[in-house]
Amino acid sequence: MIISTIDDLLTVAKGAEGLTFQEIDTTERLLSRKNKGGLGQVIEESLFGYEVNSSSEADFSELGVELKVTPVKINKSGSVSAKERLVLNIINYMEEVNFSFETSSFWKKNKQLLIMFYLWEAEKNRNDYTILKSVLLTYPEDDLEIIKNDWTVIVEKIKNGSAEDISEGDTMYLGACTKGANRNSLRAQPFSEVPAMQRAFSLKQSYMTTFVRQHLDEHRIVSFTNKHELRSKSLEEILIEKFSPYINLSLKEISQSIGYTITPTNKATVANMISTILGIRGTKLDDIEEFSKANIKFKTIRLEKNGIPREHMSFENVDFDRWVIDSFEESQFYNRFEQTKFLFVVFQFNETHSENPLRTPYFKKVLLWNMPESIIQTELKKMWLEGRKVLEEGVQLTPTKRGISNNLPKAKDNLVTHIRPKARNAEDKVALPDGQLITKQAYWLNKEYIAEIVNN
DNA sequence: GCATGATCATGC
DNA sequence: GCATGATCATGC
């Protein structure tokens, strides 16, 4: 079939739905060797019949459409997710700064994407993966406003001579992910002598997951903003504005003001408060479009009178097996902090706990935060390296009067993060790589670091 | 007084 | 039954 319109393109792509790569491949490319991008090449050559290229033009340049073949996975819960971020073109730091968004390399090549989703299955050979669905991605106008802003954030960092501090977490939907075999894949940047890690524009995994769910699951999500608002304000500014009327109010006062009944025992109280203030009452936070696409997770922070939280902030349990196998860039910690933005909902007490244990916290502010790349590469990595060494040498478990102590990195060992137990009780244990059992541990952000972020 | 080990409460 | 957010508690 001669492809002269986007409809033709979609017709051909949709004809492959339900087929495996093996069934499509006419070149025996898949049998030859395990070359990366091989699945995309099969589609280019055998389905569309054109030569593989790495031009800066879009694949179907006359139609302005770029072809992407990308995996989805089925979660334990049965829901579907993008298996990875969608990697677009490599950023040429020297050149991108000379462009506007409209003339940028990103926009030139990725204005419209023909996305072919296939199902990744751990136990299967990649030849046998099945094409699920093909969809033309054109960015909705609201998304495009956010993406423009993201592009600007990335380019501003290059202009400031700090391309080496770019992190995927800096932006909402359009990320700049590391690309290259290792940390030696460095590139020059125009306003600094420091070589920066090679990065590519990418659509975040969370953005792709939201997109996949809309098209494969018909999953419904709700937005709290719109393109008009987004033309003049960033997402963060909009959030701050929406929360500003409630500053210095208690949760009870806020609930009265927004007409929402709080049940003190309800764990989701603050989450409900957020969705109500955003004008989408009853929506789970994960179903808020902007939170879902940008992978924004909310955390409540309660500051003491002195501006420091009483407790450190916990995250998920540590996977000790991964810790000794993964590289830092593959690690649980790197991925959590590189890929997540946090919406901190900050309350503060006016009295100390000893003055009044039943004191009320007052709402202070919201802020969007992601861990800066400079911290990820220093303190976070330091903790990871130290913990890994302890695991490789064998964790020393020492019975004391207050339980069993260990020599994993402690709060005093690091300015930012540490390891501490989080379990049902001391008997709730997991196996370490060497077979010893340890009370389940989580990683935490130090409360002093939280204070620094919040009070910047 | 605080660091660090222990554990509670809720929701899925 | 387990993950997660939150908080307790005591030896140093």
- Tell the residue number behind the tokens 């290059």, with chain if given: A158
pLDDT at A36 over 60: no
How far is Cα A306 from Cα A454, in angstroms, rounded to an integer?
Answer: 12
In whole angstroms, what is the distance from residue A311 CA to residue A302 CA?
A: 9
CA pair distance A352, A365, nearest whole angstrom: 20
Q: How far is Cα A146 from Cα A151, in angstroms, rounded to an integer?
A: 9
Share of chain A above pLDDT 70, in %: 94
Q: Supply the mean pLDDT for chain A.
A: 90
The model's pTM = 0.91
Inter-residue contact A159 to A169 (CB < 8 Å): no
Q: Is A239 exposed, middle or buried (0-12, 13-18, 19+ CB in 10 A)?
A: buried
Distance (Å) from CA A108 to C1' B7? 56
Rounded to 5°, the CA angle A443-A203-A88 comes to 120
State which residue has its Cα closest to the C1' atom of C10.
A402
Q: What SS3 state is found at A311? A: coil
CA distance A447 to A228: 38
pLDDT of residue A269: 85
What is the per-residue pLDDT across A425-448, written as a single tens digit (0 to 9) for each? 999 999 999 999 999 999 999 999
Per-residue pLDDT, A265: 63
Strand C bases contacted by the protein (CB, 7 Å): 2-8, 10-12
Residue A185, pLDDT score? 82
pLDDT of residue A52: 63
Return d(Cα A335, Cα A429) in angstroms, integer. Answer: 24
Question: CA-to-CA distance for A214 and A420, rounded, in angstroms?
Answer: 38
A414 touches strand B (CB under 7 A): no
Q: What's A364-400 look like in SS3?
A: EEEEEECCCHHHHHHHHHHHHHHHHHHHHHCCCCEEE
Distance A119 CA to C4 C1' (A): 30
* Nucleic strand B under 7 Å from the C-beta of A439: yes
pLDDT value for A346: 95
- pLDDT class for A29, splitting at 50, 70, 90? low
> For residue range A172-195, what is the model confidence (pLDDT) as tens digits?
999 999 887 666 688 999 999 999
A402 touches strand B (CB under 7 A): yes
Question: Which residue shows structure tokens 């009327």?
Answer: A245
Spell out the residues 6+ positions from residue A215 whose beta carbon is closer than 8 angstroms to its own: A117, A133, A135
Q: How confident is the model at residue A25 (pLDDT cuts 50, 70, 90)?
A: confident
Residue A330 buriedness (CB in 10 A; 0-12 / 13-18 / 19+): exposed
- Does the nearest atom of strand C lie within 7 Å of A336's Cβ? no
Q: How far apart are CA A312 and CA A411, in angstroms?
A: 9
Rounded alpha-carbon distances, angstroms, from residue A32 to A35, A68, A127, A410, A413: 9, 22, 12, 50, 50
* Distance in angstroms: CA A401, C1' B8: 21
Q: Which residue reads 């995996």 in tokens?
A: A71
Span A134-160, average pLDDT = 96
Q: How far apart are CA A367 and CA A328, in angstroms?
A: 27
CB under 8 Å to A123, separation ≥6 — which residues?
none
Beta carbons of A230 and A289 less than 8 angstroms apart: no
pLDDT for A396 beyond 70:
yes
> pLDDT of A197-232, one tens digit each?
999 999 999 999 999 998 987 778 899 999 999 999
Kindly report, residue by residue over A300-319, the tens digit of the pLDDT: 999 999 999 999 999 999 99
The alpha carbon of residue A277 and the mean position of all alpha carbons in its chain are separated, in whole angstroms, by 24
Lowest-confidence region among A171-185, A235-249, A284-298 = A171-185
Question: Quick one: pLDDT at residue A32?
Answer: 61
Strand B bases near protein CB (under 7 Å) are 3-12
Map residue A363 onto helix, strand or coil.
strand
DSSP state of A245: G
pLDDT in tens, A82-92: 999 999 999 99
- CA torsion angle A251 A257 A261 A262 (round to 10): 0
CB A189 within 8 A of CB A161: yes
Average pLDDT over residues A400-412: 93
Residue A450 binned pLDDT confidence (cut-offs 50, 70, 90): very high
